[in-house]
Chain A
Amino acid sequence: MTELSLIRNFSIIAHIDHGKSTLADRLIQQTGGLTAREMTSQVLDNMDIEKERGITIKAQTVRLDYTAKDGITYQLNLMDTPGHVDFAYEVSRSLAACEGALLVVDAAQGVEAQTLANVYQSIEHDHEIVPVINKIDLPAAEVDKVKAEIEEIIGLPADNAVLTSAKSGIGIDEVLEAVVTRIPPPKGDRNAPLKAMLVDSWYDPYLGVVILIRVIDGVIKKGQEIQFMAAGTKHLVDRVGCMRPKLEILSEIAAGEVGIITAQIKEVAQTRVGDTITDAKRPAAEPLPGFKEVQPVVFCGLFPTDAADFEKLRESISKLRLNDASFSFETESSAALGFGFRCGFLGLLHLEIIQERLTREFDLDLITTAPSVVYKLELSRSKTEDARTMELHNPADMPDINRIAEIQEPWIEATIYCPDEYLGSILKLCQDRRGIQKQLTYVGGRAQIVYELPLNEVVFDFYDRLKSISRGYASFDYHQIGHREGDLVKMSVLVNGDAVDALSMIVHRGTAEARGRGMCERLKDLIPRHLFKIPIQAAIGGKVIARETIAAMRKDVTAKCYGGDISRKKKLLEKQKKGKAKMREYGNVSIPQEAFIAALRMGEE
């Protein structure tokens, strides 16, 4: 066992590209966790997508043994937290498992807006925050200016910030020393009934579900019967250990420590992030505070391009779900897309990640339908049914308009940080999306804007637009603030007179016409010309609100006969047939699958 005074639990907060992963790798290397040869770059971000996007999706942890200048060896637990608003709840649980954080700031870039949200969360958890100014060996490094920014913008003293270059290995010992001397040790009572927080869990093909825990009180050992307090289930612990970053089996994890356990659990869905783990025989009186059931907020349909891939899609989704209980799925059938799944996600990034993993790891071609949020509908009485409320996840399930007494849509409170110069266009974007401004303040040359926004205005391309109008400098954070009544209607899209169910969406009446027009214009460019002219219409009920026409194709022919070389024509025919197989037929019109995705990206309006 390790004395509480010799344990330090900390996370690293950094803007993308400010060197979080490189620093983490250096800390592991310096303390002998891995040899240089074993380090693929950025050990903690395992998934390809994490490495490519520079974001952390699953929380990771590593235990380091560090012998400090005082000659004593300390146990350091580094928690790598997810870095995106979609995973805000997971972030809050990871932070709750630590006593301190390293705030890594790029010496040339300075404090970035995105960092602030996480720093504030960390401060809320009463963390001791150690500023680390990284990349100090860059020619453009301005250490003093960055120190001033940390003090002015974040309000943290920065005179004793640690100066590093993780890339060149400068200042790594100083970081480790600061962790030991400045971050407080955890508190806890080894003899109290077991109380451990379930920080994260993932599926390992060899070990089954692996659970990352932080023990608050008591001890957890192999063979112990434990209980998940929120889920109410009991399990037998069959493995206790920690990541170094390779798995090391331990005899116990005691109060104050971070580690992993397995308990013959088959599905990640049985483990809920934030749940309290206690001893089944000697349970804790109270669970830990802060547990929340995570609910998907964005839904969309995923359909295989090739209908024959439906079973493969089911298997693939089930496999992903093994490791990510935060998304849900159920079978859905569409008139034109055939069988697929209605899936729920924590947010748009989460949606994109799942979609990308399905295409990449399982080699599936997918059609994604318009993302939708969860509407609450008040239905009035009908001849056969009483008045009731329902949740609507799919515009296709919209009941008869005459029965709808009220539609409520989810709203969020969004906080945006951006450099001053982009403020005007960002305010316009928020206004265009039916936003209500709540706050506008300046923090050192940067604006902080708080807006209330309907979530359905955000799920389309809000991030993309925000990123493009601020050239990547704006950051965005949100939380849900409940449902509100809205003047919402279902907009259908008709191609050659046939409604394309995959493109129908719920929109605000006030923005319906602009949305419809934008959609028709985009489809006009996305659908290739056919042998006949094709009307494209957007309609609310029977009323057409926007219309475009794709003119009939006039010429598509091979002029020459190539001296009897028929193979060219045959190749062309085969290519065209293959292309045709990737299209979907609506009212005799072939729509390429890219059109479904691209049609939903709102351009400049």
Chain B
Amino acid sequence: MSNPLALYIHWPFCVSKCPYCDFNSHVRESVDQDAWCAALLADMAHEAALTPGRKLSSIFFGGGTPSLMPPSTVAALIDAAAQHWGFADNIEITLEANPSSVEASRFADLAKAGVNRVSLGLQALDDAALAFLGRAHSVGESLAALAVAQQHFGRVNIDLIYARPEQTATQWEAELRRALSFGTDHMSLYQLTIEAGTRFETLVRTGHFTPADDDDAATLYDMTQDMTRAAGMAAYEISNHARAGHESRHNLSYWRYDDYIGIGPGAHGRRLKCATQRHKKPENFLSAVDRNAHGISAEDHLDPASRATESLLMGLRLSEGISLDRLSSRTGIAPDKMLDFTAVDKIARLGLITRTGDRITVTPQGMPLLDAILPQIVAVEADAAA
């Protein structure tokens, strides 16, 4: 049996650009829906032709704001995917949605089209914070949308952004407690980060606000871990929490470094030992598909050393850690040529990593420090493959 294959579909349009967002999203007066539907179908067909005989285990509609897609386009894409590859049992089909009334009104149709999981960008449960984050919805509207979502979809994720400027531990505790009470099976709890090229970066640079201090953010992070664990939703990845068995299968494909296909503007893929990237700008993507029948802007072969490095960068984000034997057998690189075990042991003594058998796991204490740990331990030697 071949490994699971995941499909990511990027919808690049938003009604407005949120000030914190550095994803590939664009605001356009109008979108030629037929052209976009056709382009995404063509881009998908290109990838399908390269990966015959594989079954899809998940589809993820991300963005941008994919809840703005006409449900008919979603349906067409899902149907085409089924035709090209066929679906594994219990395929997970997720769509990211804004929690507004307009979008909630489409949930029934989206469910009919085959979507069985939504990821709702609630972002905050405080109207002032929503305004600060540039969100067009109110808390009231979000909760109404959440109720509709829970009605139509078996599985619902909610996104929240915390460690906002001047957010106190008490405020976040109340907000998180309320979020936990909604009873969703999955939560993505992201700390606000100021990304290059965003409006927030400008505002910070010009002194309009100061981001939360790392130490304060760490306190909120620790609190979040305690509260979610107590509620049966411990983190299975740095920012992701789920009830057992309800982890995002699609995102697990990234973190476990299984193959995933990425179509649509700016989408990244990893398949057939290649990294693929699509044209980011919507217009460039369309014209590329027109010319080449696919939207690829770069396709690079990944040597075993690159694949090992990527596997480690992604896998160590998971609480389950990474099996070095499995990684060795996938890349042909011996474990001691991938990791600096002297550094691993040093950091293990600090309680930030554990080694059990062939498995390396970053502990909950180590997770918020992962970016500092990785450069010390990941040391994949070039040409190390046997």
**Are A and B bound to each other?**
yes
- A570–B378 CA distance with the chains assembled, in angstroms: 11
Shortest Cβ distance from residue A17 to the other chain B in the assembled complex, whole angstroms: 35
The answer to whether residues A563 and B10 also contact, given A555-B221, A588-B346 and a CB cut-off of 8 A, is: yes
The answer to the question of A554 belonging to the interface, with a C-beta cut-off of 8 Å to chain B, is: yes
Give the residue of B238, B239, B314 whose beta carbon is less than 8 angstroms from that of A566: B314
Within the complex, what minimum Cβ distance (angstroms) separates A339 from chain B?
24
Residue B254 is within 8 A (CB to CB) of chain A in the complex: yes
Bound: A563/B367 CA distance, A:
20
CB-CB under 8 A from A570, the residues of chain B are 306, 309-310, 313
Among B31-39, B265-273, B329-337, the one that faces the other chain is B265-273
* Residues of chain B lying within 8 A (CB to CB) of residue A577: 375
Q: Is A576 an interface residue (CB 8 A)?
A: yes
Contact of A560 among B214, B239, B275, B378 (CB under 8 A): B239
Residue B339, interface by CB 8 Å: no
In the bound assembly, the distance between CA atoms of A588 and B342 in angstroms comes to 12
Contacts of B254 in A (CB 8 A): 561, 563-564, 566
Residue of B nearest to A580 (CB): B375
Known: A566-B313, A570-B309. A555 touches B215 (CB 8 A): yes
| A559-605 at interface with B (beta carbon < 8 Å) | 559-567, 569-570, 572-573, 576-577, 580, 588
Q: Which residues of A contact B260 (CB under 8 A)?
A: 564
Q: A532 contacts the other chain (Cβ, under 8 Å)?
A: yes
Q: How far is the CA of A569 from the CA of B275 in the complex (A)?
A: 14
Which residues of the partner chain A approach B218 to less than 8 Å between Cβ atoms?
A: 554-555
User: What residues of A have a CB within 8 angstroms of the CB of B367 in the complex?
Assistant: 557
Counted as pairs of residues, one from A and one from B, with CB atoms less than 8 Å apart, the total is 103
Contacts of A562 in B (CB 8 A): 23, 268
**Which of B191, B310, B367, B372 gathers the greatest number of chain A CB atoms within 10 Å?**
B372
Instruction: Please determine whether A566 and B190 come into contact, CB atoms closer than 8 angstroms.
Output: no
Distance between Cα atoms of A559 and B368 in the complex (Å)? 9
A570 to B257, CA, bound (A): 14
Residue of A whose beta carbon sits closest to that of B306: A570
Residue of B nearest to A569 (CB): B313
Q: Is B101 an interface residue (CB 8 A)?
A: no
Is the pair B310, A564 in contact by a Cβ cutoff of 8 Å?
A: no
User: With an 8 A cutoff between CB atoms, is A556 at the interface?
Assistant: yes
Q: Is A353 an interface residue (CB 8 A)?
A: no
- Contact of A531 with B374 in the complex, beta carbons under 8 Å: no
Question: For the complex, is A558 an interface residue (Cβ under 8 Å from B)?
Answer: yes
| A36 surroundings in chain B (CB, below 8 A) | none
Contact B371 A556 (CB under 8 A): yes
Task: Knowing A561-B317, A563-B10, A564-B8 are in contact, say whether A556-B310 is a contact too (CB < 8 A).
Answer: no
Cβ-defined contact, A559 with B372, below 8 A: no
Chain B, range 334-386, C-beta contacts under 8 Å to A: 346-347, 350, 352, 367-376, 378
Contact of A531 among B215, B313, B369 (CB under 8 A): B369
Q: Quick check: is B73 within 8 A (CB to CB) of the other chain?
A: no
| Chain B 287-317 interface residues, beta-carbon cutoff 8 Å to A | 306, 309-310, 313-314, 317
Name the A residues within 8 Å of B193 (CB-CB): 558-560
* B8 near A557: Cβ-Cβ < 8 Å: no
- Chain B residues lying within 8 Å of A554, measured Cβ to Cβ, are 214-215, 218, 368-369
Question: Whose C-beta in chain A lies nearest to the C-beta of B193?
Answer: A559
B262 CB–A CB distance under 8 Å: yes
Q: Which residue of A lies closest to B300 (CB)?
A: A567
Residues of B within 8 A of A (CB): 8, 10, 23, 60, 62, 190-191, 193, 214-215, 217-218, 221, 237-239, 251, 254-255, 260, 262, 267-270, 275, 277, 306, 309-310, 313-314, 317, 346-347, 350, 352, 367-376, 378
Subset of 22 A-B contacts with CB under 8 Å: A531-B347, A531-B372, A553-B214, A553-B372, A554-B369, A555-B369, A557-B370, A558-B193, A558-B371, A559-B239, A560-B190, A561-B239, A561-B317, A562-B23, A563-B8, A563-B10, A563-B262, A564-B254, A564-B267, A565-B268, A566-B275, A580-B375
A sample of 20 more A-B contacts (CB under 8 A), given A555-B217, A557-B368, A564-B269, is A531-B350, A531-B352, A555-B215, A555-B221, A555-B369, A556-B372, A557-B238, A558-B238, A559-B193, A559-B239, A561-B251, A561-B255, A562-B268, A563-B23, A563-B60, A564-B260, A566-B313, A567-B277, A569-B313, A580-B375
Residue numbers of A with Cβ under 8 A of B are: 530-532, 553-567, 569-570, 572-573, 576-577, 580, 588
